Amino acid sequence: MKLNKIFKWGLVVLILISVALLVMGFIKGFETNDAKAVDALLNWAYIMIGLALFAWIVIGLIISIKNNPKSILKMGVVLIGIAAVCLVAFILAKGNPAVGYTGTPVSAGMLKLTDTILNLVLIAGVGAILAIIVGEIRLAITNKK
C-alpha cells in the first residue's frame, strides 16, 4: 500500500513540474529569450524519458527477481532488443534544424537527440498499429474455428 502512495505522489509531482514548465514557456514565450523555454521543455522531456526507463528497469528487475529469478535472462534479452532499436533510431536521426525555424539554433547534439526521440515515437506508433492489425487478424482466425 505504501508503494502505491509513493507512485501516486511521485506522479503528481512530475505532472506539476511539467505543467509549471509549460506555463513558464507560454508566459516567457517560446520564440523569445533565445528559445530557452523550448530548451527547458526538451530537457524536461529527456529527464522524463530517463526516469521512465530507470523505473521500468529497476522496478521490473526487483519484481522479476522476487517472482521468478530465471526471468532476469528474459529481461536482459528485452533490454538488448530495446537498446538495438534505440541505436537504429539514433543512426537514422539526421539532426537537421527544423524547417522554417528562425530562432537561435540549438546544438547539433540536441537536434540529433530530438530526431532520435521522434524516430522512436514513429517506431512505437508503427509497432502499435501493426500489433493491432495482427491481433485482429489472429482473433478473426481463431474465432472461425
* Residue 89 burial (CB count, 10 A): 19
3-class DSSP state of 105: coil
In order of 40, 85, 126, the CA distances from 129 in angstroms are: 31, 17, 5
Tens of pLDDT along 6-64? 878 888 888 898 888 888 878 877 777 677 777 788 888 888 888 888 887 888 778 87
Q: How far apart are CA 145 and CA 141, in angstroms?
A: 7
Banded model confidence at residue 1, pLDDT cuts 50, 70, 90? low
Domain extents in the chain: 2-144
Q: Would you put residue 95 in left (φ > 0), alpha (ψ -120 to 50) or beta?
A: left
Tens of pLDDT along 101-124? 777 777 888 889 889 999 999 999
| Helical spans, DSSP H, in the chain | 2-28, 36-67, 71-92, 108-144
Phi, psi of 93 (to 5 degrees): -70, 125
Q: Are 103 and 35 in contact (CB under 8 A)?
A: yes
Tens of pLDDT along 75-100? 788 889 999 999 999 999 998 887 77
